[in-house]
Amino acid sequence: MKSTKENSCDISAKISCCSIEDDSPKKDLKVHWDRAYEKATVDKLGWYEDFPKPSLQLIEKCYFDSNARLLNVGVGATNLIDELLKKGYKNIIASDISKKAIDELKTRLEEKSKKVEWIVDDLMNSNELNKIESVDLWHDRAVLHFFNNQEEQDKYFSLLKKLVKQNGFVIIAVFNLNGAEKCSGLPVFRYNEKMLSEKLGSEFSLMENFNFTYTMPSGDKREYIYTLFQRVKVMIKEQSRVHSIFF
């Protein structure tokens, strides 16, 4: 599809990269995201990936066994879930604020959807995810960057730290410092690997990172950073002093 002023990722376009522009999207994010998935077919969304190669490359480096608990936050309707099922993973958890996105993905997967645990939940106000058992992988592509202020980012990272097991992995792919300033009509907060390391803290070790230029269905490009971290350090409280231990 040829990019035009009307449908391009140009943030001044009426309809922006990720399909809708909304003047007051923060008012109800659930409605905002449901509308995004209602207004366009999945393969026209500004974050659609035919084959999520960079995520799969990083997941391969974790050497998970098939029983590993793989949590995908802000999963949308990504083809990553189809690919993980093909690889035989048995404990995939898919979560999103948008029930519409999850329904799209379930419908596409048909019978195979029964092999996935589905959780509709808001990362900013979690009622369900915060109760699940800890996970071996936290995977996020294009979600964290929507959390713009310190309070939102703290909520995101505290949920992550609550859920990721010792020796577990974190994959975060977000707009890098050369990335767009808006997506889906929402302002985004951009990162480099150092900023993500600081947010995760010393318990998490950066194993790999790379910049990646994503081509949207419109043909426009978006600059991402992909990062892989492992939780390698445990904090032990002892006589009110905190010691850290490397495995």
Ligand X SMILES: C[S@@+](CC[C@H](N)C(=O)[O-])C[C@H]1O[C@@H](n2cnc3c(N)ncnc32)[C@H](O)[C@@H]1O
Contacts to ligand X by CB under 6 A: 18, 29, 33, 47, 74-76, 78, 96-98, 101, 122-124, 141-143, 146
Least separation, in Å, of the C-beta of 78 and ligand X? 4
- Residue number, 25 or 168, with CB nearest to ligand X: 25
- Minimum distance from residue 91 beta carbon to ligand X (Å): 19
How many angstroms separate the CA atoms of 41 and 44, rounded? Answer: 6
Alpha carbon 154 to its chain centroid, in Å, reads 16
Helix (H) or strand (E) holding 203: none
**Strand, coil or helix: 151:** helix
Query: Residue 94, class by beta-carbon neighbours within 10 Å (0-12 exposed, 13-18 middle, 19+ buried)?
Result: buried
Give the C-alpha separation, 69 to 138, whole Å.
Answer: 9
Q: CB 182 → ligand X: shortest distance, Å?
A: 12
Of 34 and 203, CB closest to ligand X: 34
- Nearest 5 degrees, angle CA 205-CA 207-CA 208? 135
CA distance 48 to 78: 7
What's the DSSP call for residue 115?
G
Q: Give the nearer residue to ligand X in terms of CB position, either 17 or 200.
A: 17
Q: CA angle at residue 108 from 82 to 217, to 5 degrees?
A: 80
Note whether 72 and 8 are within 8 A (CB). no
CB of 168 to ligand X, least distance (A): 19
Q: Which is nearer to ligand X, 69 or 145 (CB)?
A: 145
Residue 91 or 98 having the CB closest to ligand X: 98
Q: Which of 144, 155, 217 is nearest to 179 (CA)?
A: 144
Closest CA to 102 of 129, 126, 83, 78: 78
CB of 215 to ligand X, least distance (A): 14
Provide the minimum distance between the beta carbon of 235 and ligand X in the complex, in angstroms, as a whole number.
27
Residue closer to ligand X, measured from CB, 171 or 200: 171
